Amino acid sequence: MTFTAVEIIIAKRDRGALSTAQIDWVIDAYTRGEVADEQMSALAMAILLNGMDRREIAEWTQAMIRTGERMDWSHLDRPTADKHSTGGVGDKITLPLAPLVAACGAYVPQLSGRGLGHTGGTLDKLESIPGWRASLSNDEMLDVLRSAGAVVCAAGTGLAPADKKLYALRDVTGTVESIPLIASSIMSKKIAEGTGSLVLDVKVGSGAFMKNVGDARELAETMVALGADAGVRTVALLTAMDRPLGRAIGNALEVEESVEVLSGGGPSDVVELTVRLAREMLEAAGIAAAKDPADALKDGSAMDRWRAMISAQGGDPDATLPRAGESTEITAPASGVLARLDALAVGIAAWRLGAGRARKEDPVSFGAGITLHAKPGDIVRQGQPLMTLHADETARFDRALEALEGGYVVAEASDPALLPLVIDKITPAGA
Ligand code: URA
């Protein structure tokens, strides 16, 4: 059945529900170039303003999956488990988590992306390790998965090409922030990736897509339902992104912190979230692990998997990581408690220091970023260093310092509005 793009745009503009045939046609025709970018951007804006119901979102997701290949790991001798984070500042959890879950008995095939804007991308972080290669063929991906138990690599162009095209369009048309479009975008890639189970880490707060718990819950429920409909055992955690995660923000700095976690140390919030997500992944994969993830961080087995995973992709796990040549410190303006450290302000500052990119073709500075010396709730003395800013050129400091103005507050007491690290767990309806 064929339609015209205009009638579909008008149907959604007038708050109608799109039929299965309309959805299948428009996604396919857009991917083939028959529906023009300006028409798809009008439709994306109509969806952002008027929404889609559960049936439409599920069919939109399946239509995007059908535009590309679907990977299949069901021939492997162990269950597969994956995690997806909606993105945050200092969120390096994939790095220790993938080898940790592999050490506890699952295969972890993870396709990741590069960062755009103030949140960093997992591939940018791993690329700060000399020699490490993000692009693998499907056969190479399988080899790394078999030998190391976990593989983190770039999603090829073959998975959900409709989403690749549509996401780039949304990015330049103010249509990213639509729950149906975000949910279908993320889940089309994750379902096409072929994982048997999936744990979603939906971030909430200033440094996240979702600024409040209500929106994050709606996104999480939508994605969990999409996973369940597609036969992927899916759960979601809502977790705090009102302040940065851990003490390191920036590519090589975050790799260093991840290695600390894999060595049995590291900041308590990163360790807590890594262990919690690992337990959720093992449960979703149906694995009664012989070893608790907290023990696998202490006994070196997760570290062994990390080293195998990095080496298998050409990286040197013992190499010295790049460092930025210049640094400057911010000190506490008064004595008291660090009541607030805003994730968005820190993320923008790290981005301006060179850790992130403004356009997808820009390079990142591997050494740039921020080291935090205090976290919200810590007692600080006037003049004590709160954070160190790292950059390749001193010229970057002024704009980064500007981003941090008002982004940290020293007060007499902690801020009671600070979110708990894990806010809630969302399971499929009826589970
Ligand atoms: N990440 C995605 O992959 N898609 C979105 O729409 C938003 C975040």
Is residue 294, in this structure, part of any structural domain at all?
Answer: yes
Is residue 417, in this structure, part of any structural domain at all?
Answer: no
Atom of ligand 1 nearest to the CA of 170: 6
CATH code for the domain in which residue 174 is found:
3.40.1030.10
Do 274 and 359 lie in one domain? The reply is no
Strand (E) or helix (H) holding 201: strand 197-204
Residue that wins the pLDDT comparison between 291 and 292: 292
Atom of ligand 1 nearest to the CA of 186: 3
Residue that wins the pLDDT comparison between 37 and 120: 37
Ligand 1 centroid – CA 120 distance (Å): 13
Do 297 and 399 lie in one domain? The reply is no
pLDDT above 90: residue 1: no
Note down the domain range covering 224: 81-156+164-318
Do 358 and 389 lie in one domain? The reply is yes
pLDDT above 80: residue 131: yes
Do 245 and 368 lie in one domain? The reply is no
Do 314 and 373 lie in one domain? The reply is no
Ligand 1 centroid – CA 335 distance (Å): 41
Q: What is the pLDDT of residues 48-81, one digit of tens each?
A: 999 999 999 999 999 999 999 999 999 999 999 9
Is the CB of 186 inside a 6 Å radius of any atom of ligand 1? yes
Ligand 1 centroid – CA 185 distance (Å): 5
At 431 the pLDDT is: 66
Is residue 305, in this structure, part of any structural domain at all?
Answer: yes
Average pLDDT over residues 171-197: 94
The model's confidence at residue 350, banded by pLDDT at 50, 70 and 90, is very high
Backbone angles phi, psi at 313, to 5 degrees: -105, 25
Is residue 58, in this structure, part of any structural domain at all?
Answer: no
At 290 the pLDDT is: 77
If one residue of 167, 179, 241 were mutated to test the ligand 1 pocket, choosing by the most ligand atoms within 8 A of its CB, it would be 167
pLDDT above 90: residue 151: yes
Of the residues 83, 84, 247, 357, only one is catalytic, namely 84
Biggest CA–CA distance in the chain, Å, is 70
User: Atom 2 of ligand 1 has which residue's CA nearest to it?
Assistant: 186
Q: What is the pLDDT of residues 74-101, one digit of tens each?
A: 999 999 999 999 999 999 999 999 999 9
H-state helical runs in 36-148: 37-50, 54-66, 94-103, 122-126, 138-148
Do 191 and 139 lie in one domain? The reply is yes
Ligand 1 centroid – CA 122 distance (Å): 14
User: Atom 1 of ligand 1 has which residue's CA nearest to it?
Assistant: 186
**Residue 373 catalytic?**
no
pLDDT above 80: residue 358: no
Q: Which of 286, 318, 350 is the last residue of a domain?
A: 318
Average pLDDT over residues 326-346: 98
Is residue 69, in this structure, part of any structural domain at all?
Answer: no
Do 338 and 211 lie in one domain? The reply is no
Q: How far is CA 130 from CA 133, 252, 325, in A?
A: 9, 10, 18
CATH code for the domain in which residue 14 is found:
1.20.970.10
Q: Which of 262, 294, 318 is the last residue of a domain?
A: 318
**Residue 75 catalytic?**
no
Do 30 and 119 lie in one domain? The reply is no
At 205 the pLDDT is: 97
Is residue 420, in this structure, part of any structural domain at all?
Answer: no
Do 247 and 373 lie in one domain? The reply is no
Q: What is the pLDDT of residues 373-415, one digit of tens each?
A: 999 999 999 999 999 999 999 999 999 999 999 999 999 999 9
SS3 call for 210: strand
Q: Which of 275, 301, 318 is the last residue of a domain?
A: 318
**Residue 311 catalytic?**
no
For residue 120, which of 219, 277, 205, 244 has the smallest C-alpha distance?
Answer: 244
Q: What is the pLDDT of residues 223-264, one digit of tens each?
A: 999 999 999 999 999 999 999 999 999 999 999 999 999 999
Is the CB of 182 inside a 6 Å radius of any atom of ligand 1? yes
If one counts the domains in the chain, the total is: 3
Judge contact between 350 and 89, C-beta under 8 A: yes
**Residue 163 catalytic?**
yes
pLDDT above 90: residue 120: no
pLDDT above 70: residue 14: yes
Average pLDDT over residues 2-20: 97
CATH code for the domain in which residue 399 is found:
3.90.1170.30
Do 223 and 293 lie in one domain? The reply is yes
Judge contact between 205 and 213, C-beta under 8 A: no
pLDDT above 90: residue 343: yes
**Residue 84 catalytic?**
yes
At 262 the pLDDT is: 98
Do 313 and 346 lie in one domain? The reply is no
User: Atom 6 of ligand 1 has which residue's CA nearest to it?
Assistant: 182
Do 205 and 296 lie in one domain? The reply is yes
pTM for the structure as a whole? 0.96
Cα distance between the two ends of the chain: 38
Is residue 311, in this structure, part of any structural domain at all?
Answer: yes
* Mean pLDDT, rounded, of the chain: 95
Strand (E) or helix (H) holding 329: strand 326-331
pLDDT above 70: residue 116: no
Is residue 423, in this structure, part of any structural domain at all?
Answer: no
